[in-house]
Structure 1
Amino acid sequence: MDKLSELSVFVQVADSGSYAGAGRALGITPSAVGKTIVRLEEQLEVRLFHRNTRNITLTAEGAQFLDRCRVIMDAVAVAERELAMSRRALRGKLRISVPLVNRVWNRVLLSFTTAHPELELDINYTNRLVDMVEEGFDVALRIGALKDSGLRARRIGTFRLVLVAAPDYLSRCGMPAGLDDLELHDCLRSRNASSCLLYPWPLGPDHLQRSARLRTRLVVDHNEMLLAAVLGGAGIACIPEFWARDHVEDGTLRILLPDDTVNSREVSAVWPGGRVSSPKVTALVNHLAAHLPAALSPRSTALRKDEACDL
C-alpha cells in the first residue's frame, strides 16, 4: 500500500472511530485496516491511537498528525477536481482586462482562442486599473508592482523600458551623451490612465527628479500614438522594448543610453480569489505563462513575418 493510501486509511479510522467502520467505508477488511495502522505507527515511530476492546481514540500525536493529513487529503481532492475539469472542453465566456498593448500580445490571446474553440473571450483593452469583482472580470493582466487587493496573482514575465528616437530626430537635435542631456530634448511622455500622472522615466536612482525636469512636447495614454510620434521624428520616447523591437532591428529607431536606464517591469495575471480556480481561468493563466514571456523578450520568435494572421 502506498503512502497516500495509508494516510487515507488513518483519516478514515479517525472519522469512523473503529477499524470495522473504516473498512466498510474503504471496502477493505478490518484486519487490513489494523495492519495498515500498525505499519504506519512503526514507520512514524509514534502511537497514533489508544485502543481497547470497546473503542479507539486518537493520541495527542495522532490528533496532530490528523490535522496535517487532512490538509494533504484536501489538496489531493482539489488537484483531482481541477484535473478532471481541465479534461473537459472549455465553454462559456471569459472576460479579460488587458493593457493597451501591441500585436505580439494579441497573438498569444488569439492562440488561446484557437486552442479552445468553444470558449468565448471578451477582451477589454484599457490602461485603467479595473475593479475585477465590481466590473465582472475573470482575469486581468497588470504591469508593475501589485497592491495587496485580495486577488490571486501569478507572475507571467518581465520586460524593460527603453529610450528611443528616430535617426532623423537625432541628426537634427544630436545624440544625448548622458542623462543630463535629456533636459535639452523634446520628450514624448505617457500618462497613467487611472491617476492621470505622467509616468517617470527610468533615469537612475533620482529618476523622479530627473523625469520632472524633462521638457515635455507630447503626452498620451497609449503607446501606439507614442510610437507613431517617435517614428515621425517628434522627439525621444520611453516605451516598452517589445513595442520598439522591430523598429530597432530595421533601423527606424535607435535605443539611447541603455547603460544609464537599466530597469525591469513585471507582468502579472490576477483573478478573484477562491479555493479552486475556474478551469477557464486556470487554462488562460497557464497559457499566458507559457507563451507571453517570449513576446516580452528583446529577441523573440513570437512575431514572424510569415505568420498567417496579422492583427
Structure 2
Amino acid sequence: MSAFVQAAELRSFKLAGQQFGLSSSAIGKTIARLEDQLGVRLFHRSTRAIRLTPEGEMFLDRCRHVLSELEAAEAELAHTTALPRGRLRVGVPFTSDLLTPKFSAFMELYPEVELDLDFNDRLVDVIEDGFDAVIRSGEVSDSRLMHVKLGDFTSRMVAAPSYLDRAGVPETPADLMGHRLLHHRFYETGKLGDWGPAIPESMTLPVTLASTSFVTLIEFAEAGHGIASLPYFAVADALRSGRLREVLPSAERRTRAMRLLWPRSKFPVPKVAAFVKFMTESMRSALDEDRD
C-alpha cells in the first residue's frame, strides 16, 4: 500500500522505488500483485509515464486514510517518548524569503524529520489530500482541524523600476485604470483577488495578466510587465534590493491572518507537534516585522 501511494504521488515506479531502496521493476511487480488481489487496474502504464485509473484515484484516497490512521495508532503507543521523525508533508501556498529559511531551520533542528513541501496555490483539503499540516490565509471552518494563528500580514502594490520609468508612477488609486495590472486568480473560484480597501468596489481594474501562482506574478512584476498586489513578505526582499518598488505606499491596506492547520488528534504525532511549536514561535515575530 505504501509503494502504491508513493508511485501515485510521484507518478513514477522508479522514483517510488528510490524511496524504498528497490528497483522500479520491484515496485511494478508489487503493484501488479496488489492489482491482482483487488481485481482492478490501478494505473494506466506507458513507456513514458504512469497515471491513475479512476479506480486508482478512489483507492489512493482510501490508502492515505489507512496509512494515516496506522501512523496515528503508532504515535498513540509511543507519543510520550518518541522523537520527531519520519515524513512530514506540509502544504505551502507559495515559496518566499520569509518561509524558506524557517523550513531550513526546522530541518537543522530535527534532522530525522523528512520534510516534504508541497508548494501549491490551490486550497487543499488537509485530510483528504493527505497533509500533515498546511499553511494558509483566511478563516478556518473545518471542525476536523486544529489551527493556530501565526500572525497577520498585508499586501503591497509593487512594480519594477523599469515599468514605472516607462509607464509613470500612479499618484491615486484611479490612476491604476491606465496601467497594466497583474492579478492573482483564486484556483477554486476563478475570482480575482482584491487590491485592498483603497480600491472602490465600483472600480473594475484592467487585467493584463491573471495567474493562480504568486511566484508567476512576482516574476512578471520584476520583469517589468506591470503592477501587482502581493503579500508583503513574498516581495520584501525584492523591495529591499530595489528589484521592485512600492506603488501607492500611503494607500490603506487590508490585514489578513496566516494560519497553520493540522488534523485534529487526541495524541498529536511528535513530528507534527514539533512543527507546530517551531512555526508558531518563529513566524509570529517575523510576520509582525513584515507589517512594519
Tell whether the structures are fold-level matches, with TM greater than 0.5.
yes
Other-structure match for 2:151: 157
Equivalent position amino acid for 2:186 in 1: N
Other-structure match for 1:282: 273
For the pair 1:222 / 2:213, whether they are aligned, the reply is yes
CA deviation after TM superposition for structure 1 residue 150, in Å:
3.2
Judged with a 3 Å threshold, the aligned counterparts in structure 2 of structure 1 residues 172 and 86 are, in CA distance, closer, same or farther, namely: farther
Superimposed CA distance per residue, residues 202-258 of structure 1 (whole angstroms, 9 cap, x where no aligned partner): 143x65443xx1111111122222112111221111111122212222223211223
For the pair 1:93 / 2:91, whether they are aligned, the reply is no
Alpha-carbon distance in 2 for matches of 1:86, 1:126: 34
Equivalent position amino acid for 2:93 in 1: P
Superimposed CA distance per residue, residues 115-160 of structure 1 (whole angstroms, 9 cap, x where no aligned partner): 1111222221111121222222111111122234431110011211
Other-structure match for 1:259: 250
Superimposed CA distance per residue, residues 6-46 of structure 1 (whole angstroms, 9 cap, x where no aligned partner): xxxxxxxxxxxxxxxxxxxxxxxxxxxxxxxxxxxxxxxxx
Would you say the 8 A contact 1:96–1:121 is kept in 2? yes
Alpha-carbon distance in 2 for matches of 1:252, 1:96: 30
For the pair 1:135 / 2:129, whether they are aligned, the reply is yes
Alpha-carbon distance in 1 for matches of 2:80, 2:151: 24
Equivalent position amino acid for 2:112 in 1: E
Alpha-carbon distance in 2 for matches of 1:142, 1:150: 16
Q: Which has the larger radius of gyration?
A: 1
Alpha-carbon distance in 2 for matches of 1:95, 1:207: 40
Alpha-carbon distance in 1 for matches of 2:209, 2:273: 40
Other-structure match for 1:20: none
Runs (4 or more) in structure 1 with deviation over 4 Å come to: 84-87, 297-300
Pick the aligned partner of 1:110 from 93, 98, 104. Answer: 104
Identity within the alignment, %: 32
CA deviation after TM superposition for structure 1 residue 170, in Å:
1.6
Alpha-carbon distance in 1 for matches of 2:239, 2:80: 41
For the pair 1:169 / 2:139, whether they are aligned, the reply is no
CA deviation after TM superposition for structure 1 residue 177, in Å:
1.3
For the pair 1:189 / 2:183, whether they are aligned, the reply is yes
Would you say the 8 A contact 1:100–1:223 is kept in 2? yes
The number of residues matched between the two structures is 216
Judged with a 3 Å threshold, the aligned counterparts in structure 2 of structure 1 residues 209 and 153 are, in CA distance, closer, same or farther, namely: farther
Judged with a 3 Å threshold, the aligned counterparts in structure 2 of structure 1 residues 207 and 121 are, in CA distance, closer, same or farther, namely: farther
Would you say the 8 A contact 1:241–1:298 is kept in 2? no
Other-structure match for 1:246: 237
CA deviation after TM superposition for structure 1 residue 161, in Å:
0.3
CA deviation after TM superposition for structure 1 residue 276, in Å:
3.2
Judged with a 3 Å threshold, the aligned counterparts in structure 2 of structure 1 residues 198 and 149 are, in CA distance, closer, same or farther, namely: farther
More deviation, 142-151/233-242: 142-151
Would you say the 8 A contact 1:141–1:267 is kept in 2? yes
Residue ranges of structure 2 left out of the alignment (5+ in a row): 1-74
Would you say the 8 A contact 1:242–1:297 is kept in 2? no
Say which SS state the counterpart of residue 266 (structure 2) adopts. Answer: coil
Say which SS state the counterpart of residue 200 (structure 1) adopts. Answer: coil
Pick the aligned partner of 1:232 from 223, 229, 243. Answer: 223
Say which SS state the counterpart of residue 150 (structure 2) adopts. Answer: strand
Alpha-carbon distance in 2 for matches of 1:196, 1:104: 27
Other-structure match for 1:47: none
Say which SS state the counterpart of residue 189 (structure 2) adopts. Answer: coil
Equivalent position amino acid for 1:200 in 2: D
Higher RCO, Cα 8 Å, sep 6+: 2
Judged with a 3 Å threshold, the aligned counterparts in structure 2 of structure 1 residues 298 and 90 are, in CA distance, closer, same or farther, namely: closer
Would you say the 8 A contact 1:108–1:291 is kept in 2? yes
Residue ranges of structure 1 left out of the alignment (5+ in a row): 1-80, 301-311
Alpha-carbon distance in 2 for matches of 1:208, 1:148: 30
Say which SS state the counterpart of residue 273 (structure 2) adopts. Answer: helix
Alpha-carbon distance in 2 for matches of 1:91, 1:252: 39
Matches within 5 A, 1:288-299: 288-297=279-288
State the superposition RMSD in angstroms: 2.4
